[in-house]
A and B are shown apart, each in its own frame.
Chain A
Amino acid sequence: MTNIAQARIKREFKEVVKSDEVAACNITLELVDDKYNELIGKIAGPPDTPYAEGTFCLEIRIPETYPFNPPIVKFLTKIWHPNISSVTGAICLDILKDQWAAAMTLRTVLLSLQALLAAAEPDDPQDAVVAQQYKENYSIFEKTAKHWTAVYAGGPKSCPELDSKITSLKNMGFDENQARAALSSKGWDIERATEYLIN
Chain B
Amino acid sequence: MGYDLHRFQGDVDEELICPICSCVLEEPLQAPQCEHAFCAGCIHEWLTRQPTCPVDRSPIMPNQLKPVPRILRNLLSRLMIACDNVNYGCTTVVKLDTLQTHIQECEHNPKKPVTCESGCGLTIPKDELKDHNCVRELRSNMTTMQHKIQDMSSEMAEQKLQLSEQKRDIQLLKEYLRSVRISNPRIREIQTTIENEDVLRWVSNLQTARVTRWGGMISTPDAVLQAVIKRALLDSGSPAHIVNELMENAHERRWPTGLSTLETRQLNRRQYENYVTKRIPGKQAVAIMACENQHMPDDLIMEPGLVMIFAHGVE
Contact = CB atoms under 8 A, between A and B. Distances in A.
Q: Do A and B bind each other?
A: yes
Interface of A: 3-4, 7-8, 11-12, 67-69, 99, 101-104
B54 A102 contact: yes
B23 interface: yes
Contacts of B46: 68, 102
Interface string B37-59: 00000100110011011110100
Interface in B163-209: none
B25 to A, nearest CB: 13
A12 B22 CA distance: 9
Contacts of A68: 20, 45-46, 49
A8 B54 contact: no
B23 A67 contact: no
Nearest to B4: A7
Given A101-B52, A102-B54, A103-B54, A67 B4 contact: no
Given A101-B55, A102-B42, A67 B20 contact: yes
Contact of A8 (B21, B49, B55, B57): B21
B54 A4 contact: no
Contacts of A67: 20-21
Given A68-B45, A68-B46, A7 B54 contact: no
Nearest to B5: A11
25 contacts: A3-B1, A4-B21, A7-B1, A7-B4, A7-B21, A7-B22, A7-B23, A8-B21, A8-B22, A11-B22, A12-B22, A67-B20, A67-B21, A68-B49, A69-B49, A99-B57, A101-B52, A101-B57, A102-B42, A102-B46, A102-B54, A103-B20, A103-B36, A103-B54, A104-B54
Contacts of A69: 49
A52 B53 CA distance: 35
B51 to A, nearest CB: 12
B122 to A, nearest CB: 31
B19 interface: yes
Interface of B: 1, 4-5, 19-23, 36, 42, 45-46, 49-50, 52-55, 57
Nearest to A12: B22
A77 B45 CA distance: 35
Nearest to B54: A102
A162 B22 CA distance: 49
A69 B49 CA distance: 9
B186 to A, nearest CB: 73
Given A99-B57, A103-B19, A103-B54, 15 more contacts: A4-B20, A4-B21, A4-B42, A7-B21, A7-B22, A8-B21, A8-B22, A67-B20, A68-B20, A68-B46, A101-B52, A102-B19, A102-B42, A102-B46, A103-B55
A101 B22 contact: no
Q: Lowest 5 CB-CB distances: which A-B pairs, in order?
A: A102-B54, A103-B19, A103-B54, A103-B55, A102-B20
A3 B1 CA distance: 9
A133 to B, nearest CB: 33
Contacts of B21: 4, 7-8, 67
Contacts of A8: 21-22
A103 B36 CA distance: 11
A4 B1 contact: yes
A84 B5 CA distance: 38
Contacts of B20: 4, 67-68, 102-103
A148 B52 CA distance: 39
Contacts of A4: 1, 20-21, 42
B26 to A, nearest CB: 12
Which one of A4, A7, A69, A99 has the greatest number of beta carbons of chain B within 10 Å?
A: A4
Contacts of B22: 7-8, 11-12
A21 B113 CA distance: 52
A133 B53 CA distance: 38
A103 B50 CA distance: 13
B54 to A, nearest CB: 4
